[in-house]
Amino acid sequence: MMTKIYPPLLMHRLAQVMAHLVVAVIALVVIGGATRVMEAGLACPDWPLCFGVFLPGRQMNLQVFLEWFHRLDAFIVGMAMLVTMGVTIVRRQRLPVWLPPICFALVCLVAMQGVLGALTVVRLLPSAIVTSHLALALTLVVVLSALTQRLLNPVMGWGPLWWRVLSVGALLAVVGQCLLGGRMATSWAAQRCLAGGDACRWLALHRFGAMPAAGLVVLFVVVALLVGGWSRSQWPGLFGAAVLVVVQAALGVFTLRLGLSEPLVTVAHQAVAALLVAVLAALAVRGPSLDVVQAPDLSDSVVLDACHG
């Protein structure tokens, strides 16, 4: 199968932008988790400003800083996506036809994320809206991470069917587990359950869901290594996913053993989950390289001489 190659410098620069956006969105998830843990979700009582100004001065403390920086990071991500969409539209003749529509969809997702962020403040942190806010953030992580891989390897095909099924299954299981944890956290179910035995359903679901999710990731890694060939050559990403699962399980146990009394452990638990989602999304879209056909560059004197001869 032959595929067209695109300008490598342009594709590489777009991939770099997307990779930075993956980091920025993961930072958004982590800072959002820290904001919740520190009970800073309403530290800025208005939106989009904070105490009526862009940069609060006298009111600034740790809680206000977390909420303010969370909004600033979201604003930077939105502006970067707008610029990237503009570039892909202007240079669309030299880029894959699917890239501008995906960038437009990403801008729409960021806009929706902003609306949900506003509603979390205006509606005083309702659990359903905060969980939806997290779901949309994880969707952005998935799309941006997958898009980065395709831009870094524009001549890459798709992996075998078993690879796609196992990787996507593991990815969906981890995202679902993240959302269960988000719903448990935003309703303060874990604290209520540990303190007085109330609302233990969400805590039980999150705990029992952890094992199948981790099992699917481990199954994907083991099968990929046993099959060998191309799938075994992806061992750095597979090893990374396996390590993140082990770390995540350990952090989950420590979080409960400590009675959710250590904010840094809880935030680290959320950070590792977001990283695992990004790694699995990147692995899911990988595949062997395809044969490449490149259109001749007519500005090349060697090509012109050959054609003239």
pLDDT in tens, 179-209: 888 887 777 766 677 666 666 777 778 788 8
pTM: 0.86
Q: What are phi and psi of 229, to 5 degrees?
A: 65, -135
Torsion of CA 93, 94, 96, 99, to 10 degrees: -80
309 residues of the chain, pLDDT tens digit each: 445 667 778 888 999 999 999 999 999 888 888 887 777 777 888 888 888 888 888 888 888 888 888 888 889 999 999 999 999 999 988 888 999 999 999 999 999 998 888 888 777 777 788 888 889 999 999 999 999 999 988 778 889 999 999 999 999 999 999 988 888 777 776 667 766 666 677 777 878 888 999 999 999 999 999 998 999 999 999 999 999 999 998 988 888 777 666 778 888 888 999 999 999 999 999 989 775 444 444 333 333 333 333
Percent of residues in the chain assigned helix, strand, coil, to nearest 5: 75, 5, 20
Amino acid at 223: V
pLDDT number for residue 136 = 92
Angle 174-176-201 from CA coordinates, rounded to 5°? 120
Number of neighbouring beta carbons within 10 Å of residue 280: 29
Residue 207: its pLDDT value, please? Answer: 81
